[in-house]
Structure 1
Amino acid sequence: MRVAHDDPRLRYRGAVSLQRGPGWTAPWRLPHPEAALYLPEGGLGRAAMPSGVRVVLRTDSTALTCRYQADPAPRLNGPPEVARLDVLCEGRHTATVELETHGGDAEFRVEGLPGRPGEPATVELWLPFYHQFRLCGLTLDAGAAVGPDDAGERPRWVHYGSSISQGRGAASPSRTWAALVARRAGWELTSLALGAACQLQPMTARLMRDLPAELLTVCVGINIQALGSHNRDSLASALVGFVRTVREGHPTTPFAVMSTIVAPEREEVPGPSGMTMRECRAHIRRAVGLLREHGDANLHYVHGPKVFGPSCTRLLLEPEGTDRLHPSPAGHPVLAARFLAALHRAGCAPSAPAASEVPQATGRSRGLTPAR
């Protein structure tokens, strides 16, 4: 039984928009028709890397064949990224598949799904976090039942960050630190994390304002310090403006701003704008404090090195002697657990129903909803 890439029974959870092509669907994490307005200097491809995006359906099929196209990863400093896709059934990891990345048609098959006749299971395909991906279709058992996964609403979490949040260094898509947080907490993740592009862009603030959310988080600092997009005079002001824009649509939603985790080679070394990483964090903390002093009681600062600090340098991806920035496969679970604990300490972690390990949700608010 074939299921087309644009079958309405498929849910593209975590996607902001969907690009339709001849025989494929590509999930985007920015509004595809206006993507150039978000990143006018380039780098649009990062928004087409479906970090945190899940293709979800319910079926009693015992096997699944996925037809797809995937592109090579961009050139990266440090170890390369391998394109992988995770299959989860009823919230539990079933398989990790290594994808072909030549850009043409390819397919893989997964057997042993838990569905039984008349007893469908929720199946999720967690798409690669650092490769562009296009779904061409699925093939299920002959006569299998298939339906949408509309099992109920989960708290919606919108997160904005850099390549650290996009998943660089994770073992697989469902094991990035953000994915692990969402799965453990029962939240519906929409990740706006873009490598080298977390610069407090006003258009991204507008997008966060307009997306439905019960939790908002930002992990900011490393791109600003490394690329010099803000200096000592502009960083706090830019963050204040970013948060205030988001607050136009979410005046009281719990909102956490985390500064960058430990960056050993950048802590005391000035970047292009003259700021060290320590100074950058101080400006971020000050901006959050100013906003709280002016009435934003549900805004919280999380100090990155307290979540993932000097004791975690052995859990960084890049080898010693290079520019160490990203958690390794062993580091992502540690960062996830500590970040979630920090949110609970701040009192800004929304409660989720206990019915399932993995979040489900529908959208609302200001006419803009995550793509389904």
Structure 2
Amino acid sequence: MPSENTSADPADSTVNWISTPITADLLRGALDLERTEHGVLPHRLPAWVRAQYADGQLAMAESQPSGVRLVFRTRATAVELDTLPTKRVYTGAPPRPDGVYELLVDGILAGRGSVRDGNTLTVDMTTGSAELRTGPVGTVRFTGLPGSDGEGKDVEIWLPHNETTELVALRTDAPVEPATDRGRRVWLHHGSSISHGSDAAGPTAIWPALAASLGGVELINLGLGGSALLDPFTARTLRDTPADLISVKIGINVVNADAMRMRAFTPAVHGFLDTIREGHPDTPLLVVSPILCPIHEDTPGPSAPDLAHMSEGRLEFVAMGDPAEKAAGKLTLRVIRDELARIVTQRSKEDPNLHHLDGLRLYGAADFAELPLPDQLHPDAATHRRIGERFAEQVFTAEGAFAAREA
């Protein structure tokens, strides 16, 4: 898989490079494209949402292009992409690896690379403060790509799922044109940092991307780290985004943000689903409850970094609530799973296209014993693969909620 990580070096003078403007018709998985000083910035929430609620955590999450990819048709064997990433550093935590760009040729992984340079956002989780240090544009280069016949090949460049990425320039050694629509169904998914891709090995290895590949569908990923909170603007975004299949994974952020109690949670879920149904009255809609997270199975939130482990250079989370608070309506994952199952059972009597998936079928107690959550909250790369494969097996196959139906 030939590729390089470079700073913004001049393009190789031995190659007859062709520059192609980066426009919306070359992007999939983004809902908005903002023009910036350097180029364009893909967003996963529309501009009106960003104006309505300018929360720092949400802004960081939605601007990280999880599931966003450049897609084009070309005969090129060399590709360069100039970008300005924004990397996160957490005070007291181990350094995070550079974000990964993955290039696919006709659906097959053909190259991986990173951009070392860019901006750096340093976050202090104990105080909530953040400091931005600006840096230079960098280049990721893919060479030695397989040739093609006169009709060319489909090339996808999946952007880092965990780095805000401004796209500056695209260069190839052969002309580029937008890829044709392959007629695949579009799967629109919303969830938390787990759906966003926390600690996955790369952008095509986040569990929704794996499931989409196995299910033969086009992914729009609205997994938003720390921000799956039943926000009305997210529901309206789902309502207004064209899709053939929709899933919403609800629960972990509601608990670990200590965002609401049962009195607010149940009407919020109904309202969220009602809004989606305004735009997609008959679309298969799957409600997914939380995967296993032992610290919050019976203990309410909020979650907080374990300061003792941070002093040792390890990032782990602990639950700060008291199990006795459940009597006053505070939420745990076990409570949420039961309530989501009840809500879907109730609503599906009049909505036959509404379905439920227990998150423990994706990752449960036996999985935790084999593949524990490294920081007590987020799955690792191997667990992303397991969740993606299980989701595809249970949802896209003949008896699943997203089974292909004959017209």
Fold-level similarity (TM above 0.5): yes
Change in 2 beyond 3 A, CA 1:347/1:7: closer
- Counterpart CA distance in 1 for 2:230 and 2:295 is 23
Is 1:279 the counterpart of 2:335? The answer is yes
In the alignment, which residue of structure 2 is the partner of 1:94?
A: 110
In the alignment, which residue of structure 2 is the partner of 1:69?
A: 84
Which of 171, 192, 213 is the equivalent residue of 1:162? Answer: 192
Is 1:302 the counterpart of 2:357? The answer is yes
Q: Deviations over 1:55-88 (max 9, x none)?
A: 0111101111111110112639788353111111
Which of 216, 221, 229 is the equivalent residue of 2:246? Answer: 216
User: How much is the aligned-residue C-alpha RMSD, in angstroms?
Assistant: 2.2
3-state SS, counterpart of residue 295 of structure 2: coil
Which of 57, 60, 65 is the equivalent residue of 2:72? Answer: 57
Which of 7, 12, 18 is the equivalent residue of 2:33? Answer: 18
CA apart distance, 1:311: 1.3
- The two structures have a TM-score, normalised by structure 2, of 0.80
- Counterpart CA distance in 1 for 2:49 and 2:176 is 33
The correspondence of residues 187-198 of structure 1 with structure 2, limited to 5 A, is 187-198=217-228
Which of 24, 44, 47 is the equivalent residue of 1:32? Answer: 47
Is 1:328 the counterpart of 2:380? The answer is yes
Q: Deviations over 1:289-346 (max 9, x none)?
A: 22113x011111111012211111132441xxx5x22221111111011112221365
CA apart distance, 1:5: 3.9
- Counterpart CA distance in 1 for 2:231 and 2:89 is 22
CA apart distance, 1:276: 2.0
Which of 142, 146, 168 is the equivalent residue of 1:136? Answer: 168
- The two structures have a TM-score, normalised by structure 1, of 0.87
Change in 2 beyond 3 A, CA 1:338/1:38: farther
Q: Higher RCO, 1 or 2 (CA under 8 Å, sep at least 6)?
A: 1
* AA aligned opposite 2:352: A
- Counterpart CA distance in 2 for 1:68 and 1:50 is 13
* AA aligned opposite 2:253: N
Residue correspondences, number: 345
Change in 2 beyond 3 A, CA 1:101/1:264: farther
The correspondence of residues 320-359 of structure 1 with structure 2, limited to 5 A, is 322=375, 324-343=376-395, 344=397, 347-351=400-404
3-state SS, counterpart of residue 192 of structure 1: strand
Unaligned runs of 5+ in 1: 354-372
Question: Which structure would you say has the larger Rg?
Answer: 2
In the alignment, which residue of structure 2 is the partner of 1:369?
A: none
* Overall identity of the aligned pairs, in %: 34
Unaligned runs of 5+ in 2: 1-16, 120-135, 303-328
In the alignment, which residue of structure 1 is the partner of 2:201?
A: 171
CA apart distance, 1:41: 7.0
Which of 63, 71, 87 is the equivalent residue of 1:48? Answer: 63
In the alignment, which residue of structure 2 is the partner of 1:105?
A: 137
CA apart distance, 1:34: 3.6
